[in-house]
Amino acid sequence: MNKWLSGEVVLQRENLLDQMKDVAVFDVVVIGGGASGLGIALEAVLRGYRTLLVEQADFAKGTSSRSTKLVHGGVRYLEQGDIRMVRKANIERGLLSRNAPHLVKNQTFLIPLYSYWDRLKYVAGLKFYDWIAGKWSLGPSLFVSRKKTLEYLPGIKTKGLIGGVLYHDGQFDDSRLAINLMQSIQEGGGIAINYIKVKELLKEDGKIAGVVAEDTESRQSYRVRSKAVINATGVFADGILKMDDAGSPKSICVSQGVHLVLDRKFYSSDHALMIPHTSDGRVLFAIPWHDKVVVGTTDTPVEQASLEPKALEKEIDFILGTASQYLTLQPRRPDVLSVFAGLRPLAAPKEGGQKTKEISRSHKILVSRSHLFSIIGGKWTTYRKMGEDMIDRVEKELGWPATPSVSASFSIHGYIQSAREGDPFGFYGSDAVYLKEAAYANDTAGGWIDRSIGLHRVQVIWAIRKELARSVEDVLARRTRVLFTDARRAMEVAPAVAGIMAGEMGKDAAWQKRQVEDFVRVAYNYLLEPNRPE
């Protein structure tokens, strides 16, 4: 039996809290456990800085677990003329494919063509996309005949179809990458803790000197001193900026993107579908993911940021309506297995009138008079570059000696050359061997919680001991992706997961009951009427 299953615990939250208290002064404290925060913290650790990352909820709880599941160079940014952004994103896509091949794969995309003008425009545009990528290209773009297009996209509408254009981009699992980055930070000597909320910024002589943070589980407060404090809280960045200066201007423009998850019968192709222009001017994707298909997205301005954003009826109708224009088997509301909404933290434009889809996804670094460092905007694909740019800026502003970045060649936790398709443990990468050994050794004891969704009890234990999972939601939403692939099934297995967690964490029946109730309340947001249970 594996040591980890017999009781050896590597990531105990209590130990991490003790380590945090034992450090007199950190070099870097990062606020926020999403893509940007994790990338910055890992960059700091790799450069040898004493680093602490704190996250008010769970790692990747917000935007960073609700993406379109693409590691992409940004085809649509070509239309905006942002060639520099496309080049940068293509390089980062290539680096991420190399550094986390267990989570990132080369995904082919097909754009169906219904006019000869579209053929000319998209073939030429994507050839240019390949040229910009250079050595980081994942494969050449090419025109595909009508016959081949129908073969590759068996469910596509045939009327007026003249062919298609095929190109390559990356596809990944966002929250699994976040968890592996957290593990990489810990292994590098840094500390990353979830459910720690920053309540106040410490200052000395008008300069940032640390944070006051509260453990949301125990309600214990901690004063943490640090030479540099970095605000990487995404859509919540303005809240930290106002802690520093109540008069700080708005820096964030929030946009909501919604995705629907469907059974593969609606789209059985292994090639992703890309519709370059929809009625709202956005791109629509249908992407194979975890044996399901993710369809989206929208771009809806939102006034208020939330940890649990909800899909609007008009967004759901838009996606279903647009998908039905291209798919012969048309999905309806009862067919949606899960719906999830994510909020994009876009840098607020200086002048009004700009639509959210036109705002650049490039990141921006702000440094206040008190030396609070904040990162605004950005996306998963460029998370590593965001980290590199931020630590470079910290060193420059604080007069620290410049240190070289090594993250471009760093293998992320779980690194393995390729994960086996269809393997329920495949996304664990190099850790899969340990889970399989434990799972199959205990298979006769009824270890599968639900074999149809690939959920085994050892995954729950692993999530607690190795991945800092603290709740049923942590396990079913972000350590595994059950909530995102089938919300109803997630609700059905929640009591079993709560029972395993209670035994592992020493919790009572009342805790189990609260956990299930809390999870069901969240899961309702991922279901559409009339799919909601009574």
Quote the pLDDT of residue 358. Answer: 43
d(CA 402, CA 104): 31
Burial of 82 (0-12, 13-18, 19+ CB in 10 A): middle
Into which CATH architecture does domain 13-63+176-250+358-409 fall?
Answer: 3-Layer(bba) Sandwich (3.50)
Element (H, E) at 30: strand 26-31
d(CA 245, CA 460): 42
**CATH fit for domain 103-171+253-352, picks 3.40.50.700, 3.40.50.300, 3.30.9.10, 3.40.50.11890:** 3.30.9.10
Quote the pLDDT of residue 445. Answer: 47
Quote the pLDDT of residue 161. Answer: 93
- Run means of pLDDT, 10 residues per run, the chain, 534 residues: 48 91 97 98 98 98 94 76 85 95 95 93 92 92 95 88 95 97 97 98 97 97 98 96 93 91 94 84 88 92 90 94 88 95 82 49 89 94 97 98 98 87 87 90 73 94 96 98 97 97 96 98 87 47
Of 177, 190, 196, the residue nearest 103 (C-alpha): 177
The domain ranges of the chain are: 13-63+176-250+358-409, 103-171+253-352, 426-526
DSSP-derived letter for residue 408 is G
108: β partners: 168
**Domain 426-526 part of CATH 1.10.4030:** no
Question: Are the CB atoms for 491 and 473 separated by under 8 Å?
Answer: no
- Encoding tokens for residue 325? 């224009």
d(CA 318, CA 302): 17
**Cis amide linkage into residue 530, ω under 30° from 0:** yes
β-bridge pairing 51-55 and 26-31:
parallel
d(CA 100, CA 178): 11
CA distances for 128 relative to 89, 125, 139, 369, angstroms: 15, 5, 13, 42
Residue 189: how many other CB atoms lie within 10 Å: 13
d(CA 338, CA 354): 31
CA distances for 480 relative to 34, 241, 436, 533, angstroms: 17, 33, 15, 22
Quote the pLDDT of residue 411. Answer: 97
Displacement of CA 251 from its chain's centroid (Å): 22
Beta-carbon-side half-sphere exposure of residue 32 (alpha carbons within 13 Å) = 28
DSSP-derived letter for residue 235 is G
**DSSP string spanning 106-119?**
EEEEEEEE-SHHHH
β-bridge pairing 163-172 and 70-71:
antiparallel
Those residues whose C-beta lies under 8 Å from the C-beta of residue 146, and which sit 6 or more positions away, are 161, 162, 163
CA distances for 122 relative to 143, 295, 327, 489, 532, angstroms: 9, 21, 21, 40, 41
Of 96, 119, 8, 156, the residue nearest 465 (C-alpha): 8
Question: Are the CB atoms for 150 and 163 separated by under 8 Å?
Answer: no
